[in-house]
Structure formats: C-alpha cells, structure tokens
Structure 1
C-alpha cells in the first residue's frame, strides 16, 4: 500500500490547523478562526445555513455552533429569507460589520505574507490540490 496519499491528506489537515492557530494568534477580537472566516463569508451578504455549510464545507452541527456563537456575541442575526419564510438566513449585525473591519487587515496581512514568501508554483500547486480534492468529493 502506498502511504503517500495518507501523508498528503494528513499534511493538508495539519496545515489547516496551523493556519487557524496563526490567524487566531493575530486576531485581537476574541473570535476563533472559524468564526472569523464565517464573518467574512457573511460580509458578502446574508446566507442560509445550507449555504454556510456548502461554502465552508462543514457539517450542520458545526455550522449551528459557529452561527450560535456569532449570534450570542452580537455579531450576527437570524432572520427569515425574504419571500420565503421557510428558510432562515444569517446576516451580519452592525457589530459584525465592525468586527469584519477589524479582522480583515489580519487576513490581508497573512495572505500577503504567504503570497510574498511562496513561489508562484507553490501557490498554483496548492490551488491544484484544492481543485483535485473538490474533484474527488464530487465522485462520491
């Protein structure tokens, strides 16, 4: 059995955790890396729970937990989708928009540092891995 595939996926998972810890160490807002990413997603506009799950590739329980923490902190609100009250939407509150303004420079700083330190081929390689992972997911 070739163990190189296991090493790649394990490395990707560890790298994801490292990126989250780096982000959290630079944020002064008290939000977790997952919450910060969700804040940035919601900054694009309100989203249903299904949209949040699909965008972040997370389970319903994880999405519910993240959303509840943002709502409890006053960063987000739950409401109904205009024109279809069957669907709940999550939107940023004013405090959430303020939080996005505080965390965005941290994302920008880390993204810039990674881009500057990485060769173009490394960035393309990462994007290729992400694309391949998406392709593998769609096979199932």
Structure 2
C-alpha cells in the first residue's frame, strides 16, 4: 500500500516538474517567437562561447545557460528510474532521456520558441546522468 502511494506521489511530482520544465522551455524567461529557425549542431560551440566570452554576458545568462542546463535536469535522473523499472539501468535510461530531450530541442526550433542546440542536449544529459548516479548510489 505504501509503495503504491509512494509511486503515485513520485509520478505526480515528475509530471508536475515536466510541465513546469516545458513551460520554461517554450514560454518562460521572456521567450518570444523568433522569425527564423535557430540551431547549433557543433558540439561545445555554445559552451565555448560562454566560457571564452564570459565578460560579454550578464552573470545570470551565463548561469542559466551553463549551470542551469545541467542542474534543472538532475531530477530526471532521480525520478525516472524510481518510477519506471526499465529505466533503472543506464542504457535504457540514457536512450530514453536523449531521445526525449532531442525531441524537445527539435520542437523548440520548429516552433521558433527557442533553438535546437546540441550543447543543450549534452548539458541536459549530464544533469540527468548526475541525478541517475545519485539515485544509484542512494539505492546501493
């Protein structure tokens, strides 16, 4: 009985968090629809620009785009394997997360409400993997 309640609570937290995240990714942070499709397909290009030209960006922009893209996805690594037994193993977890975040990045680009940035996929995946590692360590 307690396990069922815990599972339902974790699912509610996860899906609430997912909705909040989708809001941030498509509407939050003063997003506006751009006139053109924006994308970056070169790994670490955006990250390199933020690091090399750190003095050209406000600190909040730097934090949101680097640390934020990692930190905001840690809960995925904590919650997904706790909710879905198949995702307790690294390969299925990694595959599901990368496919999901790639689809979201693609939707940001085609909706012109953001950009498709391979660096975001990399940073988001690092965050999810950090959460996954924490989950695995706590379960051991």
TM-score by length of 1: 0.27
Higher relative contact order (CA 8 A, sep 6+): 2
Greater percentage in strand: 1
Structure with more helix by fraction? 2
